[in-house]
Amino acid sequence: MTAFPEGFWWGVATSAYQIEGSPLADGAGPSIWHRFSHTPGHIAQGDTGDLACDHYHRLTEDIDLLVELGVKAYRLSIAWGRILPEGIGATNPRGLGFYQRLIEGLLKRGIKPVVTLYHWDLPEALQDRGGWVNPDSPLWFAEYAEIMFRALADRVAAWVTINEPWVIAVLGHLEGRHAPGQRDAWAAPRVGHHLLLAHAAAVDLYRTLGQQSIGIALNLEPQHAASADPADLQAAQRRDAFINRWFLDALFFGRYPAELAQIFGAAWPEFSADSLVQIRCPGDFIGVNYYTRARVAADPGSRPLGAVCLKPPRHQCTEMGWEIYPEGLSETLGWLKDRYGNPCILITENGAAFADPPPQAGVVADPQRIHYLKKHLSAAAQALSQGVDLRGYFVWTLLDNFEWTEGYSKRFGLYWVDRANLQRYPKASARFYRAIIATNGAAALAD
């Protein structure tokens, strides 16, 4: 028995900067992550994406891994700067050619391409014009999106416009932990708004050019109060507005949660009524990136939220320090259904980093990841049985790769990558996931 519907999209996800390497090859323009990772002090061990998994040169080998897994769909992202080295203007056919080969290779093997247009690697040339703070940024994005739709729309099964706008606005522009490394409360809400306008512009364009589906991917995590104390309950509500409702309320209701004006204070802009109408654009599906939950306590000294997250005990966490909390996935999916009118959902990312041992006899033993996936798939099945319109599930990620500020120190892959020679080895979880796909989920639900 399986709770997963016929035709469910079983997949894995990756992103360009994290796996491709050769960021400047064949005429590509550098991205903000290229500059950021090359600035000392930003990335653990001084790692960069220069080599990554060398996917740029190992396309065929990596497609073979997807075939070995038996995935129905593969979520990849396009490096904007390979297509438009300056971000706008002249296109670079050699960069486009790489993705055309990749997508042809997938289709030939019966794998549906799911393509993310923006997974954080803005062309540096556009950052020099202010990046996402610039009110023209949605137009830049629309120009790029149109090129991609014209080149590939008939071959791509689903498009994701933007990956995790919250991470871009907050980690990139408020906390400065991600590229472009800004710490500016004024910038963050404007960046968030421009990302939503960019998404809406791409969706509008797609309606005239494409026939499949288009959505956005959001990082969502339940915010649980650390105690029944009203101050903690309010802190959890504020954090819920900040992380979960910021983009969802905008996409579904054309408004921002009232808490945001309170959190950002004078830095929160007066958005025009027109632009609020425009950003009311949920698209065809919501992509959910789910990893963990937060337990939140009030802390008036912590600016700007007045809240802190409790640190869970080490043994309940992945290597990222994120609590393993599969119940939060069914909770999140059920909440999306109830609050936003049962939207169509793809789980566009779910997975975990563990300290995997090196391969023995060609295989890596990773029982913790198997356990993690099993529990989260059971949670997904539970959501399905409660009427959530879930259409697919993508494991983050195919290969151990460049995990942003953590560099190569965190391994999320179903395949282990030897950093010395980039050879790929299956982890036991790859075999487990293969069995799940082959049984349309039944193997995840068996004891």
The catalytic residue positions are: 164, 349
Residues that contact ligand FCB, how many (by CB under 6 A):
12
Contacting ligand FCB within 267-306 (CB under 6 A): 289
Name the residue among 16, 79, 15 with its Cα closest to residue 287. Answer: 15
Q: Could you tell me the two tokens for 278?
A: 């425009």
Q: Which residue(s) pair with 118 in the sheet?
A: 162
Binding test (CB under 6 A) with ligand FCB, winner from 264, 354, 404, 425: 404
Q: Which is nearer to ligand FCB, 393 or 412 (CB)?
A: 412
The site string for ligand FCB over 200-239 (x = CB under 6 A, - otherwise) reads -------------------x--------------------
Min. distance of Cβ 397 from ligand FCB in angstroms? 7
161: helix, coil or strand? strand
Q: C-beta of 167: minimal distance to ligand FCB in Å?
A: 6
Q: Is the peptide bond before 359 cis (omega within 30 degrees of 0)?
A: no
> Which residues, 5 to 24, sit near ligand FCB by CB under 6 A?
15, 18
User: Which residue lies nearer to ligand FCB by CB, 318 or 382?
Assistant: 318
> Mutual orientation of helices 93-108 and 59-69 as an angle, nearest 10°?
30
Nearer to ligand FCB, 164 or 356 (CB): 164
* Residue 326 CB, nearest approach to ligand FCB (Å): 16
Q: Which of 37, 92, 116, 163 binds ligand FCB (CB under 6 A)?
A: 163
Nearer to ligand FCB, 31 or 163 (CB): 163
- The contact mask relative to ligand FCB for 310-339 (x = CB under 6 A, - = no) is ------------------------------
Piece in contact with ligand FCB (CB under 6 A), picked from 161-169, 241-249, 377-385, 416-424: 161-169
Q: Which residue's Cβ has the minimum distance to ligand FCB?
A: 15
* Closest among 116, 268, 266, 262 to 192, alpha carbons compared: 268
Beta bridge partners of 344: none
Which CB sits closer to ligand FCB, 221 or 240?
221
CB of 24 to ligand FCB, least distance (A): 21
Instruction: Provide, for the chain, the percentages of residues in helix, strand and coil under a 3-state DSSP scheme, each rounded to the nearest 5.
Output: 45, 15, 40
| Closest CB 120 distance from ligand FCB, rounded Å | 7
CA distance 127 to 124: 5
Q: What is the DSSP letter of 427?
A: B
Cβ neighbours of 277 (radius 10 Å): 11
Amino acid at 308: V
Stretch that binds ligand FCB, among 130-138, 162-170, 270-278, 387-395 (CB under 6 A): 162-170
Which among 147, 154, 69 has a CA at the least distance from the CA of 103?
154
Two tokens, residue 16? 């360009």
Alpha helices by DSSP H, listed for 267-366, are 273-279, 327-340
Residue reference for tokens 């090859």: 25
Verify binding: residue 77, ligand FCB, rule CB under 6 A: no
**Closest CB to ligand FCB among residues 77, 92:** 77
- Tally the residues of the chain: 447
SS3 350: strand
Q: How near is the Cβ of 166 to ligand FCB at its closest, in Å?
A: 9
Q: How far is the CB of 27 from ligand FCB (least distance, A)?
A: 25
CB 138 within 8 A of CB 197: yes
Which stretch in 160-168, 175-183, 205-213, 277-285 sits in contact with ligand FCB by CB under 6 A? 160-168
Q: Evaluate whether 433 touches 425 at the Cβ level (below 8 Å).
A: no
Could you count the other beta carbons within 10 Å of the beta carbon of residue 385? 10
Instruction: Identify which of residues 323 and 349 has a Cβ nearer to ligand FCB in the complex.
Output: 349
Least CB distance to ligand FCB at residue 398 (A): 12
Measured from the CB atom, the residue of 278 and 350 that comes closer to ligand FCB is: 350
Q: How many CB atoms are closer than 10 A to CB 443? A: 17
d(CA 396, CA 405): 17
Does 350 sit near ligand FCB (CB under 6 A)? Answer: no
> How near is the Cβ of 322 to ligand FCB at its closest, in Å?
9
Residue 396 as a binder of ligand FCB (CB under 6 A): the answer is: yes
Q: Which amino acid is at 124?
A: E
What is the tally of helices (H) and strands (E) in the chain? Answer: 18, 13
Among 47, 232, 356, 403, binds ligand FCB (CB under 6 A): 403
Chain residues binding ligand FCB by CB under 6 A are 15, 18, 163-164, 167, 219, 289, 349, 396, 403-404, 412
